[in-house]
Amino acid sequence: MARFVVRRLLVMVAMLFAISLVTFLLFIVALPNGNPAALIAGRLANPAEVHLITVRYGFNKPIWVQYIKTIANIFGGTAYSYQSYFNVDAEIEAGLPATISLALGAGVIWLLTSILFGTLAAIRAGRYTDRVLTVLSMIGVSMPPFFFGAILIYYAGYKLGLIPLSGYVNITNPAQWLWHLIAPWITLSILFVGIYSRILRSTILDTVNEDFVRTAKAKGLSQGQVLRRHILRNSLVPIISLWGLDLAQVIGGGAILTESVYSLHGVGYLAYQSVSHLDTVTLMSIVMLTALAVVVLGALTEIFYAFLDPRIRLQ
Amino acid sequence: MSLIDPAPAQLTDGGLPAELIAEAAEVGPGVGPYQLAWRRMKRNRVSLAFGVLFLLIVLLCLLAPVYSHDIAHIGPDAENYGTIKVGGKTENIVSLIGIPIGPTWELGHYFLGADENGRDVAVRLLYGGRNSLEIGAVATLITMVLATICGLLAGYFRGLTDGIISRVLDVIWAYPAVLLGIVLGTVLEVHGLGPFHGTTLLSTALVIGFVYIPYVAKPIRAQVLALREREFVDAARQQGLAHVRIMVSEILPNVASTIIVFIPLMLANAILTEAGLTYLGAGVQPPNPSWGTMISQGINNIPAAFSNVLVPGIMLVLAVLSINVFGDGLRDALDPRAKIRLGKDTASVGELSH
């Protein structure tokens, strides 16, 4: 076990390094001639000013020095946007409440709904309910969130006045907070419900044929008990591990489309705005932090699994 | 609850569901796996119908120039702020306060209304569909070709080759697809890479194609790892065949069904991602029409003309839905034991396109 953990952590560290380097290089390439000084100085700057900025920001240093400095800035909380001069880490922090509210609420909704739909579809496999749920999940995975969001905003918000048109209200005002988040939660959940319920349905149908289910039946458990204690408990494992990873990605700005259609000022919205302003420092920080979070969470999940299931350690 | 009494899925020898064994007994010898899959496919009317629907959409979009030239008599980028006659009444195409005309339901002009620049939505819808489908197709091609090569090399050679390829794929995989897409899209927009620069549709296709490689390469690699231990690969090696030959003519045919199953999935995803990236400003650049640009322009114009969101949106959902339903049927036909499952081996698919 200890050997597995050490090896996995070493791979994780190597991945962290590779990802930070790749992200950094991507953005260096993204800047005109690899020198953001011209960008910072603005359109009317003379060469002397550009040179001054180049020297002061250290853009003339070797690339590996710049890399180390960039990483130190991002993790030390001293990275500043070249466009707005705001502290990037503070900006990301300011976006976290909205993003976490969106992610957790939607996460609970999509997990519970897909457990319900997936189980229902599996129990009624091949019948009418199953077909209807299949069609619904197909529509769910085919629906872009910004299109669905636009429909909700126009019909439920603008026409009927049932939901607010956009924006986020801090949780200190719980009623408004809830009211503003209902539509984004539903919008973000739809895709995941489509995917998760399909996966759960097929996992349950696989599990039904396992020996332990036959044993449970043979020892006289009721059908409900077999379903809850033996089938569901085993079938939920893949869903829950997916759920952790997806939640991490959504918190790291993965809900960018939902956040931008509802103007929820979260991390995704920040990323969206930095794209339109070509604000490379902010975008780089978001992308880097998200990718790093995914790697760390992935490693932790794997170690946790190895702890539960000794077979994984030997692979 | 039929679930607890698994009559239809009862397992018999070899772990094959009884219905498949019955089917094998029924078709008899000499029927290849693809013939078998085709027979199953033919029985699945719903998914065939959706496949036909998708072909119709493709055909319509390919006929865009015909509609534009001979029926609507207006190009996709032509702006017209004049007036037209609808049902005997003369109406402004774009009203004085900037609200475009809604659908006229007359094939000759502004069948689906105009956008805020006075362009014909129906004409743009078809041209935009052509671009969206083209990007989707090219992106899918890029993903499938590169993923197959990566999966074959990593699975066949194992060791160092596998280590390098798998780690590179892991790095790509660690980024949320949409975020990586916008980063690469922005890089290409600013800097360009040979022929892929700025406003060409190809660069969007390249970005989307690249981002999804790990999602396909990982399952292919897993299959190749298992296949290379089989007797027929040993036999080929004993005959002294070259590695490339073994990979292409011995192993590739055996992963072909996986590749085929992934194609519609990836096509649907690529079309959705194009729309998403474009909505965020990192995909197709206006005035190029695509379903993504049309939806995002429509959203910017809410509430003046909601039909400008609905028309391309519904078309997009229809196209993606039809590919998905067809692809689902295709998977059932080619892979009835559901070995290939996006999401099982590749983990988080959820982030593919939100």
- What is the ipTM score, two decimals? 0.84
Q: Can you tell me the mean pLDDT for A46-51?
A: 84
pLDDT category, B209, cuts 50, 70, 90?
A: very high
**pLDDT for the residue B321:** 93
**C-beta atoms of B344 and A199 within 8 A:** yes
Can you name the residues that pair with B120 across neighbouring β-strands?
A: B114
**pLDDT for the residue B49:** 92
Number of A:B CB contacts under 8 A?
A: 199
d(Cα A311, Cα A216) in Å, to the nearest integer?
24
**pLDDT for the residue B153:** 94
d(Cα A120, Cα A111) in Å, to the nearest integer?
14
d(Cα B289, Cα B279) in Å, to the nearest integer?
12
Region of B346 (left: φ > 0; alpha: ψ -120 to 50; beta: rest) is alpha
- Highest mean pLDDT among A156-160, A171-175, A274-278, B154-158 belongs to B154-158
In this structure, what DSSP letter does residue B86 have?
A: E
Nearest CB to A209: which of B9, B180, B344?
B9
Restricting to B residues 280-299, those with a Cβ less than 8 Å away from any Cβ of A are 280-282, 295-296, 298-299
Please indicate whether residue A241 or residue A268 has the higher confidence score (pLDDT). Answer: A268
**pLDDT for the residue A105:** 93
Q: Say whether pLDDT at A301 is over 80.
A: no
Interface contact B171, partner A, CB < 8 A: yes
Q: What is the percent of chain A with per-residue pLDDT over 90, rounded to a whole number? A: 11
pLDDT category, B347, cuts 50, 70, 90?
A: very low
| Close Cβ partners of B292 (under 8 Å, ≥ 6 residues apart) | B132, B274, B275, B276, B277, B278, B279, B283, B284, B316
**pLDDT for the residue A65:** 87
Phi, psi of B89 (to 5 degrees): -100, 145
Please indicate whether residue B269 or residue B352 has the higher confidence score (pLDDT). Answer: B269
**pLDDT for the residue A112:** 94
| Close Cβ partners of B89 (under 8 Å, ≥ 6 residues apart) | none
> Taking the CA atoms of chain B, what radius of gyration do you get in angstroms?
24
In this structure, what DSSP letter does residue A314 have?
A: T
| Close Cβ partners of A125 (under 8 Å, ≥ 6 residues apart) | A201, A205, B2, B3, B8
> Taking the CA atoms of chain A, what radius of gyration do you get in angstroms?
24
d(Cα A151, Cα A146) in Å, to the nearest integer?
9
Nearest CB to B174: which of A19, A32, A141?
A19
Provide the Cα torsion A156, A162, A166, A171; round to 10°: -140
- Whose CA is closest to A226, among A236, A216, A240, A218? A216
Interface contact A255, partner B, CB < 8 A: yes
Residue B180 in tokens: 């990586």
Distances (CA, A) of A159 to A153, A164, A187: 9, 11, 18
Interface contact A223, partner B, CB < 8 A: yes
Choose from B13, B265, B348 for mutation: most chain A CBs within 10 A.
B348
**pLDDT for the residue B106:** 75
d(Cα A164, Cα A162) in Å, to the nearest integer?
7
Distances (CA, A) of A21 to A28, A59, A291: 10, 17, 12
Identity at B282, one-letter amino acid code: A
Choose from A249, A258, A261, A262 for mutation: most chain B CBs within 10 A.
A249
Lowest pLDDT segment from A254-268, B98-112, B169-183: B98-112
**pLDDT for the residue B354:** 39
**pLDDT for the residue B341:** 47
Lowest pLDDT segment from A113-117, A125-129, B268-272: A125-129
* H or E segment and range at residue A186: helix A174-207
Lowest pLDDT segment from A12-26, B63-77, B287-301: B63-77
Distances (CA, A) of A201 to A197, A213, B40, B134: 6, 16, 21, 34
d(Cα A291, Cα A26) in Å, to the nearest integer?
14
Please indicate whether residue B13 or residue B115 has the higher confidence score (pLDDT). Answer: B115
- Is this model's pTM higher than 0.90 or not? no
What residues of B are in contact with residue A275 (Cβ under 8 Å)? Answer: 182, 186, 280-282
d(Cα B317, Cα B132) in Å, to the nearest integer?
12
Identity at B61, one-letter amino acid code: C
**C-beta atoms of A147 and B167 within 8 A:** no
**pLDDT for the residue B186:** 78
The 10s digit of each residue's pLDDT in B27-55 is 666 777 788 888 888 888 888 999 999 99
Coil, strand or helix: which one is A20? Answer: helix
Coil, strand or helix: which one is A87? Answer: strand
Cα A238–Cα A138–Cα A143 angle in degrees, nearest 5: 105
Q: What is the percent of chain B with per-residue pLDDT over 70, rounded to a whole number? A: 84
- Give the minimum alpha-carbon distance from B70 to chain A in angstroms, rounded to a whole number: 32
Residue B41 in tokens: 């496919």
Interface contact A258, partner B, CB < 8 A: yes
| Close Cβ partners of B208 (under 8 Å, ≥ 6 residues apart) | B135, B136, B139, B143, B181, B270, B273, B274, B277
**pLDDT for the residue B139:** 95
Interface contact A41, partner B, CB < 8 A: no
